[in-house]
Chains A and B, each alone.
Chain A
Amino acid sequence: MTDLRMEETSPEDLAQREVLAAEPGRFDTVRRALFERPSTCIALAVVILFVIVAIFAPLIAPYDPLRQSILQINKLPSWEHWLGTDQFGRDVLSRMIHGSRNSLIFGLLSPVFAACIGTILGVSAGYFGGWIDRVISRVVDMLMAFPELLLAILVAAALGGSFWNIVVVLTAAFTPGFARVSRASTLAIKQEPYVEAAIAAGVRTPVIIFRHIVPNIMAPIVVLMALWSASSIRIEATLSFLGIGTQPPNPSWGNIIRDGLNAMFTTQWPIVAGGLAITIVVLSISIIGDSIRDVLDPETSQ
């Protein structure tokens, strides 16, 4: 990097070239991360399977997940109802299949929102410094002191549960982490000769930020998104279990377990099925996230 002769071409072009040169290599390493280890391949297959089930839920589910039947209360598994029924006589398998939508969507939405807001805050703090940095860092430090799950419970307790409230809750819980990581990376990138050169050449600030800094701090952001996708599925399940997440009668793996607890003495299948689904999906996404981390930033992996 330092041996590039800057007088030959504009600093902006140089930085552009740097990013383009890095891009194919980066995709290559991500591909390697995903397909080289057998455990990661299996994890990827599991996640894809669950996503397909979630997308085609209405076609796959054998019954309407909300249809109640007074004759079919708390039934054990049978050929009609593979996982039995719950206390309102609703088919548990259909609720599991439809519930996968409510559970998975947060694993996709909240890391994306948190990454956008967190990166904006972190990059502004790191790039501009001064009082902006002091205010943002201060608030981020305070919020980071709270475990994400506790922060989510407290915000959900204050706001109440609805789809967009859960998105807000999870985004609020994860944003500080993204802000901290992107601030640290921005501080490092800002010292790079190509950024200094761009500043010296009078490139406008938004161009420097979006073209030179943001693409170069994407690696740790992507790793965090993968890891927090798993966390948000787990936290949404916990919130729904506590009754402050997805609201009944809409199914989610968390509130299927909550309902299952009331029927614990007759049938334990809803609890077992709901919990296994959460554990398997979270485990698979974590394995994928760990693999991506191992290739993208080898220093932090053990």
Chain B
Amino acid sequence: MAKYVLYRLGDAIPTLFLVLTLVFIAMRILPGDPALAALGPMADPVQLALFRERMGLNEPLPLQYIYFLWDAIRLDFGRSFISDVPVADLIARNLPHTIYLTIVSVLMGLCLGIPFGVFAATRRNRPPDNALRIYSLIGYSIPDFYLAAILLIVFSLQLGWFPINGAGTGFWDGLHHILLPAMTLAMLKSAFMGRLTRTSVLEVLGRDYVRTARAKGAREGRVIYRHGLRNAMLPLSTGIGISILATLSGSVAVELVFNRPGIGRLLIDAISERDYPVIQAGVMMFAFFVILVNLVMDVVYVFVDPRIRMKS
């Protein structure tokens, strides 16, 4: 087990390295002069030269690359061009909000999607199954920011049930603020999870051991939950991983619509202000999360299905 985790960890490091390299190429080589971008076209040449000297932009590229990697390893992302606050502080301030949103929306999505999927699978080609098909087709097609805007207009603006923006203070106020944004992501997630649950439960229900369970007289509820859903958990755990990753990209738009603090919001604000250190750190944070979630999911599979360990 420990060997497998170490092996997967060793696999994740080159990926992280590749991402850092791509970020370096994109930020330092492609868009022209970072000094000009930071200080604006009106900056005088002396300031520009000082800035280049301070940021190490006069060094040869390979040396810049090594400095860049060294800073990234020490989690030193520099200071924001705009607010002069250390980027690490900005991330520490915004990250908990995105993690909170991810956890709440994934839990809500699972609580909606899995029962819906089981319900549809046990009533194949009947109205509940068709309802799920339409729900998941719309869930796939509707953009997250549009759904967010519609929920905001209906429930906050028209009905006044939820606050319009911000993250709130304290637990209950925070929960009140997060319900609508989390619901947006949860609806999209449940469309995907419902479809996946339906397919995997249907597949399992066709197996021999389910027929045996029925033949020996087990109650239908026990057959479906004990034999059906439990064995459908492996594809479902893949789905949970995918929906956590989808939340990361979904959070960018949802944080913007609901005006919530978070990593996505930080990144988007930084892009509009051309705040390169923050953009760079934001991109690296997202990439790091994707790699982390994939790593954790791979380890989780082994717990759910020990047969995978045998293969590696």
Contacts and interface: CB of A to CB of B under 8 A. Distances in A.
Contacts of B14: 138
Contacts of A271: 146, 149-150, 153
A142 interface: yes
Contacts of B302: none
Interface stretch (A186-194, A212-220, A239-247): A239-247
Contacts of A154: 283, 286-287
24 contacts: A146-B245, A146-B290, A147-B246, A147-B248, A147-B290, A149-B249, A153-B249, A153-B267, A153-B286, A154-B287, A155-B26, A160-B271, A238-B145, A241-B253, A243-B271, A257-B149, A261-B149, A268-B153, A271-B149, A271-B150, A272-B150, A274-B146, A279-B141, A302-B199
B291 interface: yes
Contacts of B30: 158-159
A154 to B, nearest CB: 5
Which 7 A/B pairs are nearest by Cβ-Cβ distance?
Answer: A275-B146, A158-B26, A150-B249, A283-B141, A282-B141, A149-B249, A279-B142
B205 to A, nearest CB: 14
Contact of A145 (B256, B271, B290): B290
Contacts of A283: 137-138, 141
Contact of B286 (A138, A150, A242): A150
Contacts of A145: 15, 290-291, 294
Interface in A146-177: 146-147, 149-150, 153-155, 157-160
A93 to B, nearest CB: 18
A292 interface: no
B296 interface: no
B279 A238 contact: no
A37 to B, nearest CB: 13
Contacts of B256: 241-242
B250 to A, nearest CB: 8
Contacts, number: 119
A161 B26 CA distance: 14
Interface range, B side: 35 or more
A293 interface: no
Interface in A99-152: 138-139, 142, 145-147, 149-150
B204 to A, nearest CB: 14
Given A157-B271, A279-B138, A279-B143, A242 B149 contact: no
Tell me which of A159, A241, A257 has the highest count of chain B C-beta atoms within 10 A of its own C-beta: A241
A150 to B, nearest CB: 4
Contacts of A155: 26
Interface of A: 138-139, 142, 145-147, 149-150, 153-155, 157-160, 230, 234, 237-238, 241-244, 254, 257, 260-261, 264-265, 268, 271-272, 274-275, 278-279, 282-283, 286-287, 302
Nearest to B279: A157
A234 B141 contact: yes
A243 B30 CA distance: 20
Contacts of B149: 257, 260-261, 264, 271, 275
B271 A244 contact: yes
A241 B268 CA distance: 11
Main secondary structure of the interface of A (DSSP, over half): helix
A221 B4 CA distance: 35
Interface string B150-179: 101100010000000000000000000000
Nearest to A265: B157
Nearest to B290: A146
Given A275-B150, A278-B143, 14 more contacts: A138-B14, A142-B18, A145-B290, A149-B246, A150-B286, A150-B290, A154-B283, A158-B26, A160-B31, A160-B271, A241-B145, A275-B146, A279-B138, A283-B141
Contacts of A243: 268, 271-272
Contact of A275 (B142, B267, B287): B142
B99 interface: no
A279 B271 contact: no
B257 interface: yes
Contacts of A279: 138, 141-143, 146
A174 B169 CA distance: 41
B31 A159 contact: yes
Interface in B239-274: 242, 245-246, 248-250, 252-253, 256-257, 267-268, 271-272
B140 interface: yes
B271 to A, nearest CB: 5
B282 interface: yes
Contacts of A153: 249, 252, 267, 286
B19 to A, nearest CB: 8
A265 to B, nearest CB: 7
A224 to B, nearest CB: 15
A241 B264 CA distance: 13
